[in-house]
């Protein structure tokens, strides 16, 4: 944009520059605060913090593995449920449904994203957890109970319920991004395939193939969101720092332990341990989201190349 | 510019950088912020409500955040008073200038979700310990049946619920188990946030949280302050005490537990009364404390605080019965009075 | 194949409707004028969410007063001047900030504001919400401004207007609907946040008209009532949720209405 060089312009640009710089300052301050406050734990435990399985504040023993495990497993369960679901919805909306139906349905799926986390948690405690306990869990135990995944005490509160609620929360996000990506695929591609005699479904498969990296990006974006989800998970996951093969057992995620225990960490090492876990979560979501963005933006570039 | 003006108008006159324990707000209204244990939450909420009716310009806000958070809040001065069932350790108390003022007596009960049972369960410390260590897994286990010969215990899995947060209630509960079962003392110990055996049970936050989980999860068992179990109409177990009797958690038995140790109560009133002597003593009883700084930096707030505390240990005690707390023994009230009288504001005693 | 994908869509809609109907059915019975005005009382004595509603409004307002100017300003900068390295960095960091779990922002504000101030406060809560809002508003503003056709800018420049006038008087008004809808979505988003308020604003049993005391909020209150044992409190949680959801859905529907394609 050409500069016209008047003082008005200089002032204007400076003011805007400051507002933009505030974002940089916030990020820098946040990273600094977390690293600084993590130092005591880093000094005491080093890398063993990340693989330590014991979390016992009374003895000042802090190992973050149960939370890392809980965060990853609940997110993986969420992806396993959500990805096929989101793809199905997105394909339906872009490739198959007539505009008249697609628009309102798309809107309603987006509304799922607008529901606050604590509301999902409320619904999770009083509707989903009893459902898992009385129906879904019983079903899984009956038919798949030979897997260690579905053995053990079924209370409705645990890793499985946490994963299901996350799945519901990230579906609208993945759906929205996949929709955008599929819509970016030029119509000529579809027309070319059809002209060559492909069926509708085969055409869709070709489109999906082209958008593959973008879809991967959407999935990873959903993952990033699942990793950081706090309230809904805290309310249904059982808050138990254990590593168990059974999905029925309670678990703990990084975000949940922060929400539950931050206010009461009295000694410096405990507080520092919690902040270091927060730092781990921050770094992981950072990498995941950056990677996702990269994949998604690549698709856009390829399509319009 | 507009922003600073707006911000200026947005503050209640309490200078930034000074904690709640300092200058009072303008307009004759005094705000006190309390934070801590969920154990006494029902009675404290009742008290601040009733006290607010008598003294409408003193606004006391109690937030139940857990004993650990309460201790942290009063030490870091983000609250005017803290609340904790677990008296602070020597180490934590050192150099803080904090006083422990006991307010009521309560009991930690074992409550359970077994609607098929018609009578209360009898539980011995060894059984409780084994349940929470994960050694007893089913309700119809032999050890439980032994103490409950006439009860038709179902063949279902037990879901123990424990406190995931730093809890005075946990400290009292584990103190009892550590005194009575050496295996517990070795493996888990007594603390606000002890080393629970991983894989046993669901963690919840606050007495409310534990109670909520017990209500929602069939065949579960949890330890809570008795007020919570009673308010939710769930049964409470009879626990075997030091004298070998299975006693119910009722006000007489709680007071009996305190009676024995009143004479030997230490000067700073920090004491655990679990597993007390006496045939009718309920073995998991506990005082609960309000933590305050002896020297209050804001005299006006300090006066309001001492007035409230004085009211609480005298007039407030008449609200305890309905909420299933036992009132303080007379001798303890006298000692608490002395502590309140010793509080100063700016060097001068707050109560003349 | 279409049946499978259609089934997926139906499933998602069903989940939405199930959740909304539970909220409506369980929440409606507890809503009364008293409930909307009262403060919390000891269990069994009634009580309401009046102070929580006010607290949420006050903190959201503070977040807007701080977050909107900064966010929109940053968005304009990125759109008009942001092709340099600095702009790229800001864009990247803004996207990163959007992805930071909100509990971490709460922890950040706790160390930055709550500890030095000596207490939790509505100010800290509002600031945490502002930090969440800024990058969202910045990026949507940037997108909206980029959509303004260059012909408009060039026309004004050709008439001799200085750069800043072009942006202020031509571009911004043209993008205003888009910026407004972006802001509204950000408001809807922060109205539903709980985690960042947990240790910054804490909670309160009173009406607070000033920002430097702990402040109640709808979301934290819902969390407390939902995780407690008392059935009366559960009912209040559903009712409070009904209020919150109505507000958020209203904003979303309004935005959809404003951005509908007119052809």
Residue percentage of chain A with pLDDT more than 90? 53
Residue A85 is assigned to a structural domain of this protein: yes
Q: Which pLDDT score is estimated for A302?
A: 65
Average pLDDT over chain A, rounded to an integer? 89
Pairing of the two strands B81-84 and B30-36: parallel
Q: Which helix (H) or strand (E) holds B255?
A: helix B251-259
What is the average per-residue pLDDT within B294-312?
91
B222 touches chain A (CB under 8 A): no
Between chains, do C227 and B208 touch, taking CB under 8 Å as contact?
yes
The whole-number pLDDT of residue C234 equals 92
What residues pair up with B112 in beta bridges, in sequence order? B221
The model's pLDDT over A51-109, given as tens digits with 9 standing for 90+, comes to: 888 888 877 888 899 999 999 999 999 999 999 999 999 999 988 888 888 889 999 99
Whether C118 and B78 lie within 8 Å, measured CB to CB: yes
Of B7, B11, B232, the CB nearest to C230: B232
| CA-closest candidate to residue C79, choices C144, C151, C131, C173 | C144
Within the 25-64 window of chain C, which residues sit less than 8 Å (CB to CB) from chain A? none
Q: How confident is the model at residue A135 (pLDDT cuts 50, 70, 90)?
A: very high
B57 lies within 8 A of chain C by CB? no
pTM equals 0.89
Gap from B41 CA to chain C (nearest CA, Å): 9
How do residues B37-71 score in pLDDT, each as one tens digit? 988 998 999 999 999 999 988 999 999 888 888 88
Pairing state between β B30-36 and B58-64: parallel
Q: What confidence tens digit (pLDDT) does each residue in C16-54 have?
A: 999 999 999 999 988 888 889 888 888 778 888 999 999
Total domain count for chain A? 1
Confidence of residue C261 (pLDDT cuts 50, 70, 90): low
With contacts defined as CB-CB under 8 Å, which chain A residues touch B164?
Answer: 239-240, 260-261
**What average pLDDT does this structure show over C95-115?**
92
Encode burial over A241-280: b for 16+ CB neighbours within 10 A, e otherwise: bbbbebbbbbbbbbbbbbbbbbbbbbeebbbbbbbbbbbb
Domain holding A151, by residue range, is: 66-304
Check CB contact under 8 Å for C229 and B208.
Answer: yes
For chain C, how many residues are written? 263
Residues of C in contact with A289 (CB under 8 A): 95-96, 99
Does residue B8 have a pLDDT over 70? no
CB nearest to B16's CB, from C117, C204, C214: C117
pLDDT (0 to 100) of residue B16: 44
Mean pLDDT computed over B259-270:
86
Of B193, B197, B167, which is closest to residue B183 (Cα–Cα)? B197
Chain C window 1-30: which residues touch A at a Cβ cutoff of 8 Å? 1-2, 4-9, 11-13, 15-16, 18-19, 22-23
pLDDT in tens, B109-165: 999 999 988 889 999 999 999 999 999 999 999 999 999 998 889 999 999 999 988
Residue entry with tokens 């409606």: C28
Query: Is residue A200 situated within a structural domain?
Result: yes
Nearest CA in chain B to C43: B42
Are the C-beta atoms of A257 and A68 separated by less than 8 Å? no
Q: Of B105, B103, B36, B159, nearest to B312 (Cα)?
A: B103
Tens digit of each residue's pLDDT (9 = 90 or more) over C121-163: 999 999 999 999 999 999 999 999 999 998 988 888 888 888 8
Q: Minimal Cα–Cα distance from B192 to chain A, Å?
A: 8
Q: Which chain A positions have a beta carbon within 8 Å of B202's beta carbon?
A: 155, 157-158, 238-240, 250
Scanning the structure block, which residue is given the tokens 């009173």?
A: C206
CB of B92 less than 8 A from some CB of A: yes
Residue B205, chain A, CB below 8 Å: the answer is yes
B204 touches chain C (CB under 8 A): yes
A58 domain-assigned: no
Is the model's pLDDT at A283 over the cut of 90? yes
- The CATH code of the domain that includes A299 is 1.10.3720.10
Asked whether residue A163 is domain-assigned, the answer is yes
Q: From chain A, pick out residues whose CB is under 8 angstroms from the CB of C244.
A: 116, 119
Select from B63, B105, B57 the least CA-distant residue to B307.
B57
B15 confidence band (pLDDT: 50, 70, 90): very low
CA C35 → CA B41, C10, C28, C50, distances in Å?
Answer: 22, 36, 11, 7
Q: Which chains touch B (3 or more CB pairs under 8 A)?
A: A, C
Number of Cβ within a 10 Å radius of residue B151: 18
Structure tokens at B131: 């349940």
Report the pLDDT averaged over residues C178-198: 93
Nearest beta carbon to residue A58 from set B66, B194, B217: B194
Asked if residue B327 lies in contact with residue B317, where contact means CB atoms within 8 angstroms, the answer is: yes
Cross-chain CB nearest to C101 (options A2, A122, A228)? A228
Average pLDDT over residues C54-78: 95
Please list every residue in chain C whose beta carbon sits closer than 8 Å to the beta carbon of residue B48.
205
Contacts of C42 in chain B (CB under 8 A): 42, 45-46, 49
Tell whether the model's pLDDT for residue B171 goes beyond 60.
Answer: yes
Token pair, residue A179, equals: 């929709």
Token couple for A281? 């979560």
Whether A3 is in a domain gets the answer no
Find out whether A71 and A255 touch, Cβ atoms under 8 Å.
Answer: yes
- What's the pLDDT at A5? 60
In the structure, what pLDDT confidence band is assigned to residue B352 with cuts at 50, 70 and 90? low
Q: How far is CA A285 from the centre of its chain?
A: 8
Position C223 pLDDT exceeds 60: yes
Q: pLDDT category, A271, cuts 50, 70, 90?
A: confident
* Two structure tokens written together for B310: 């004085």
The whole-number average pLDDT for the span A216-221 is 91
Q: Regarding predicted confidence, which is higher, C236 or A188?
A: C236
CATH class assigned to C49-217: mainly alpha
Q: Is residue A215 part of a domain?
A: yes
Structure tokens at B101: 């003022």
């Amino acid at each position: 944009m050409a500069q016209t060089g008047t003082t008005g312009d200089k002032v204007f640009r400076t003011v805007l520059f400051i507002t933009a710089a505030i974002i940089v300052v916030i990020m820098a301050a946040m990273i600094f605060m977390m690293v600084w406050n993590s130092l005591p734990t880093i000094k005491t435990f080093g890398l063993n913090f990340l693989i330590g399985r014991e979390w016992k504040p009374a003895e000042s023993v802090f190992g973050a593995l149960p939370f890392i495990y809980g965060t990853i497993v609940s997110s993986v369960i969420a992806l396993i449920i959500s990805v096929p679901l989101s793809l199905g919805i997105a394909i339906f909306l872009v490739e198959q449904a007539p505009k008249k139906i697609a628009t309102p349905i798309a809107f309603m799926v987006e509304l799922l994203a607008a529901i606050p986390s604590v509301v999902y948690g409320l619904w999770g405690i009083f509707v989903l957890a009893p459902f898992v306990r009385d129906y879904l869990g019983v079903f899984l135990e009956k038919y798949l109970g030979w897997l260690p995944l579905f053995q053990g005490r079924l209370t409705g509160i645990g890793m499985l319920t946490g994963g299901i609620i996350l799945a519901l929360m990230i579906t609208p996000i993945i759906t929205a991004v996949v929709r955008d990506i599929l819509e970016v695929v030029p119509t000529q591609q579809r027309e070319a395939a059809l002209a060559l005699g492909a069926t509708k479904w085969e055409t869709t498969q070709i489109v999906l193939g082209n958008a593959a990296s973008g879809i991967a990006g959407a999935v990873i974006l959903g993952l990033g969101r699942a990793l950081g989800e706090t309230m809904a998970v805290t309310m249904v996951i059982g808050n138990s720092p254990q590593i168990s093969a059974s999905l029925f057992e309670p678990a703990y995620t990084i975000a949940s332990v922060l929400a539950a225990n931050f206010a009461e960490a009295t000694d410096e090492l405990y507080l520092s341990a919690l902040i270091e876990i927060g730092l781990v979560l921050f770094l992981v979501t950072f990498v995941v989201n950056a990677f996702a963005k990269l994949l998604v933006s690549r698709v856009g570039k390829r399509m319009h190349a | 510019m507009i922003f600073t003006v707006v911000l200026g108008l947005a503050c209640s006159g309490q200078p930034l950088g000074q904690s709640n324990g300092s200058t009072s707000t303008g307009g004759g209204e005094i705000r006190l912020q309390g934070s801590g244990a969920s154990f006494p939450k029902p009675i404290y909420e009742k008290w601040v409500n009733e006290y607010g009716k008598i003294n409408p310009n003193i606004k006391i806000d109690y937030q139940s955040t857990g004993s650990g958070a309460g201790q942290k809040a009063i030490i870091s001065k983000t609250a005017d008073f803290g609340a904790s069932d677990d008296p602070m350790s020597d180490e934590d108390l050192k150099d803080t200038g904090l006083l422990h003022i006991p307010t009521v007596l309560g009991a930690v009960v074992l409550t359970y979700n077994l609607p098929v049972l018609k009578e209360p369960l009898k539980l011995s410390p060894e059984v409780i310990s084994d349940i929470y260590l994960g050694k007893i897994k089913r309700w119809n286990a032999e050890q439980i049946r032994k103490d409950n010969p006439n009860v038709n215990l179902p063949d279902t899995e037990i879901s123990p619920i424990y406190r995931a947060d730093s809890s005075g209630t946990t400290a009292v509960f584990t103190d009892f188990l550590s005194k009575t079962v050496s295996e517990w003392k070795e493996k888990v110990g007594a603390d606000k946030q002890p080393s629970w055996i991983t894989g046993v049970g669901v963690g919840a936050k606050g007495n409310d949280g534990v109670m909520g989980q017990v209500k929602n999860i069939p065949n579960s068992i949890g330890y809570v302050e008795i007020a919570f179990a009673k308010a939710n109409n769930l049964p409470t177990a009879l626990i075997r005490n030091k004298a070998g009797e299975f006693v119910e958690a009722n006000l007489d038995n709680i007071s009996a537990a305190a009676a024995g140790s009143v004479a030997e109560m230490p000067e700073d009133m920090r004491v655990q009364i679990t597993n007390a002597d006496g045939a009718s003593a309920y073995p998991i009883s506990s005082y609960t404390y309000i933590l305050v700084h002896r020297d209050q930096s804001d005299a006006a707030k300090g006066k309001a605080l001492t007035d409230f505390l004085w009211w609480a240990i005298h007039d407030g005690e008449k609200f305890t019965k309905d909420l299933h707390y036992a009132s303080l023994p007379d001798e303890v009230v006298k000692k608490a009075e002395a502590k309140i009288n010793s509080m100063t504001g700016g060097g001068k005693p707050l109560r003349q | 194949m279409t049946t499978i994908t259609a089934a997926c869509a139906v499933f998602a809609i069903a989940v939405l409707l199930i959740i909304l109907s539970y909220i409506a059915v369980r929440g409606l019975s507890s809503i009364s004028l008293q409930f909307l005005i009262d403060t919390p009382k000891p269990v069994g004595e009634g009580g309401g969410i009046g102070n929580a509603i006010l607290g949420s409004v006050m903190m959201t307002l503070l977040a807007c007063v701080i977050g909107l100017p900064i966010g929109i300003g940053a968005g304009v900068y990125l759109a008009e001047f942001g092709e340099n390295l600095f702009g790229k960095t800001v864009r990247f960091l803004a996207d990163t900030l959007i992805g930071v779990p909100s509990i971490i922002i709460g922890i950040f504000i706790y160390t930055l504001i709550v500890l030095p101030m000596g207490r939790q406060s509505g100010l800290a809560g509002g600031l945490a919400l502002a930090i969440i809002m800024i990058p969202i508003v910045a990026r949507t503003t940037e997108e909206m401004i980029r959509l303004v056709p260059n012909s408009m800018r060039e026309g004004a420049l050709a008439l001799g207007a200085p750069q800043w006038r072009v942006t202020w008087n031509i571009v911004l008004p043209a993008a205003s609907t888009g910026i407004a809808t972006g802001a509204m979505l950000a408001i809807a988003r922060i109205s539903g946040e709980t985690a960042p308020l947990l240790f910054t604003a804490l909670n309160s049993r009173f009406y607070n008209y000033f920002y430097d005391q702990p402040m109640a909020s709808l979301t934290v209150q819902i969390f407390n009532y939902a995780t407690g044992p008392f059935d009366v409190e559960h009912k209040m949680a559903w009712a409070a949720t009904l209020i919150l959801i109505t507000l958020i859905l209203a904003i979303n529907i309004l935005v959809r209405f404003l951005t509908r394609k007119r052809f």
